[in-house]
Amino acid sequence: MIQTTGKRICGVVLALSLILAAPMAVAAAKKTAAPSKPIPELVEKDGKFALMVDGAPFLILGGQANNSSNYPAALKNVWPAIKDLNANTLVMPVAWEQVEPVEGQFDFSFVDALITQARQNKVRLVILWFGTWKNTGPSYTPSWVKTDNKRFPRLTNKDGSLSYALSPLYETTREADKRAYVKMMEHIKAIDSSQRTVIMIQPQNEVGVYGAARDYSAKANGLMAQPVPQALLSRLNKNAGTWNEVFGKDADEFFHAWSIASYVDHIAAAGKAVYPLPTYMNAALKDPLNPDQAPGSYASGGPTYNVIEVYQAAAPNIDFVAPDLYSPGSQSYEATLAFYARKDNPLFVAESGNKPTYARFIFSVLGRQGIGFDPFGFDYSGYSNYPLGTTKTGPEMVKPFGELYSLFRPLERVWPKLSFESQVWGVSEPDDHSAQTLDLGPNWNARVTYRQWEFGMPEWDPDNKNGYPEGSDVPSGGVAVAKLSDNEFLVAGYHARISFGAGEANKARGFILDRVEEGHYDARGNWVFERVWNGDQTDYGLNFAQARLFKVRLATFEK
Ligand code: DGJ
């Protein structure tokens, strides 16, 4: 009773003070605070995805800084590269070791500097949490974690030796990581809820383990003998049993994937409870062309293509999984894209090499309705991760990517809306430069060819006397097409030729390019006409000797 009365009294006093304070508070708010923009979110409709930023679809044209650029003093070498790249998003790590060097004492000064400077540079941020896992190892955990194997145990290899990687089976490790991660999310919420500079979070980086398929400790072996959780059985439509009974030869890897995904999900859930930004996990890849590759020779337990469903079942708070693409061959690159672009998983290239030949793959990513592309190693710190990436470290490194981003940056809102609401296609030049066909529905199709001069046909110069056009010595081309209406398409390309034609439904009729407009989109997303292309410029297909954007209207006539 006394408590209730006391509450009531407090309630009355509180209500009175709110009534008195309200007009003043509203007036102050009108003067100072800009209205909050909606929090970024990932939306899905009929198996298509859009990353909503400020309430509208947004295409991430990202650049990821080198690992050790995550200090205020290093940022001055990051922004010029991001500017030259024409990126709209910087992807940057924040490390557990830097925010909690002493247990329980937090320092978010780098996050403050990063967000302030991102706003000055007019770009968004994706933050990578380097915690329990960074390239599978614990190197970014604070000293008090990475040196204390009793409290934060490493996993046990099959032969009984100790692995370098931390085990996902210990609450002590998970709770310590979670506390720091949640603190970071609280900090981001406190300083970024109105401007939404940070649009997405990657909790952990390249999880998994090399050299083992799972933890083989007594604790892990005990858990392996338990029944497989129902959520996973339901997701994979399997009958009950222990891990070995249900998954046979895949049991070790699936168990490890489940354990890591559950661990990260627990952390991500706590972060989302504070500030629900979209989250994703990146994968160090399993060879997409070799299904027999043994777990442990790649990062076992990470979100490789063969365990995507395990991640979906174990980690509902992770919105999607994303590949780190450093496989130079177009066949392998495309195979990985195909594995990750699913109706239940949007495609986002979380990392890609920064050799010039990787730039063209943005066309394939867009054609597969990708929500973003994020090549790795973009800052002017002077560091090169050759042979994974390019030997170059300055503007020369950035240029091939910057040229393509300059084509798509004005489309950062237009393209993802079309991708979400209409239909898109896209192809990148294969290693062998072979032609590709785009099936644009029953009425139209298109053929994309490479290494063509802007005028005429290759057979006019059978000896290829002048070689190939500049820049096409290595594969560099691609085309992306979006449907604007039944007969009209937006076409963006580079180092390629696209030739449209009649589809099955129009076979009996004559085909003609009705109108080809070159132009661009203004800041409000309106098409700005520049000129009509016709004559020599269209008689041999539309040629992209440089990055260009067209609106193309197709027509037929009675024969
Ligand atoms: C993948 C990792 O996720 C990145 O942080 C980086 O280490 C690259 N590999 C290699 O440069």
Kindly report the pTM of this predicted structure.
0.93
CA of 388 to the centre of ligand 1 (A): 9
For residue 284 the two structure tokens come to 């160090």
Residue nearest to atom 2 of ligand 1 (CA): 135
Non-local CB neighbours of 27 within 8 Å, separated by 6+ positions = none
Residue nearest to atom 6 of ligand 1 (CA): 67
Non-local CB neighbours of 50 within 8 Å, separated by 6+ positions = 42, 43, 57, 58, 371, 416, 417, 419, 420
Sheet of strand 527-533, all strands in order from the earlier edge strand to the far edge: 424-428, 478-485, 488-494, 548-557, 510-521, 527-533
Task: Give every residue of the chain whose pLDDT is below 50, as ranges.
Answer: 1-30
Determine the pLDDT at residue 33: 61
Determine the pLDDT at residue 15: 36
Q: 3-state SS string over 257-316?
A: HHHHHHHHHHHHHHHHHHCCCCEEEEECCCCCCCCCCCECCECECCCCHHHHHHHHHHCC
Determine the pLDDT at residue 189: 98
Q: Ligand 1: residues whose CB is within 6 Å?
A: 67, 135, 205-206, 324, 351, 376, 385, 388
Burial 423-457 (b: 16+ CB within 10 A, else e): ebbbbbbbeeeeebebebeeebbbebbbbbbeeee
Ligand 1 atom nearest to 284, measured from its CA: 1
Determine the pLDDT at residue 363: 98
Q: Alpha-carbon distance 262 to 255, whole Å?
A: 10
Closest CA to 326 of 300, 383, 287, 289: 287
Closest CA to 360 of 392, 384, 391, 328: 328
CA of 356 to the centre of ligand 1 (A): 17
Determine the pLDDT at residue 27: 45
Pocket test for ligand 1, best of 64, 128, 324 (most atoms within 8 A of CB): 324
DSSP conformation class of 228: P
Pocket test for ligand 1, best of 91, 92, 129, 351 (most atoms within 8 A of CB): 351
Ligand 1 atom nearest to 205, measured from its CA: 3
Angle of helix 251-274 versus helix 171-192 axis, rounded to 10: 40
Helix locations, 275-423, DSSP H: 308-314, 330-340, 361-367, 395-408, 414-421
Residue nearest to atom 11 of ligand 1 (CA): 385
Determine the pLDDT at residue 3: 31
CA of 524 to the centre of ligand 1 (A): 36
CA of 87 to the centre of ligand 1 (A): 19
CA of 133 to the centre of ligand 1 (A): 12
- Where on the phi/psi map is residue 122: left (φ > 0), alpha (ψ -120 to 50), or beta? left
Alpha carbon of 161 to those of 154, 158, 164, 213, 216: distances in Å? 10, 7, 10, 14, 10
CA of 1 to the centre of ligand 1 (A): 62
CA of 249 to the centre of ligand 1 (A): 29
Alpha carbon of 349 to those of 346, 363, 513: distances in Å? 10, 12, 34
Q: Give 373-389 pLDDT, tens digit per residue.
A: 999 999 999 999 999 99
Determine the pLDDT at residue 466: 87
Residue nearest to atom 9 of ligand 1 (CA): 135
Residue nearest to atom 5 of ligand 1 (CA): 67
Q: Alpha-carbon distance 410 to 394, whole Å?
A: 24
Ligand 1 atom nearest to 282, measured from its CA: 3
Q: Give 279-296 pLDDT, tens digit per residue.
A: 999 999 999 999 999 999
Ligand 1 atom nearest to 377, measured from its CA: 11
Q: Alpha-carbon distance 519 to 306, whole Å?
A: 43
Determine the pLDDT at residue 20: 39
Closest CA to 319 of 357, 372, 356: 372
Pocket test for ligand 1, best of 126, 204, 205, 358 (most atoms within 8 A of CB): 205
CA of 389 to the centre of ligand 1 (A): 10
Determine the pLDDT at residue 29: 43
Domains and CATH numbers, the chain: 63-329 (3.20.20.80), 428-557 (2.60.220.20)
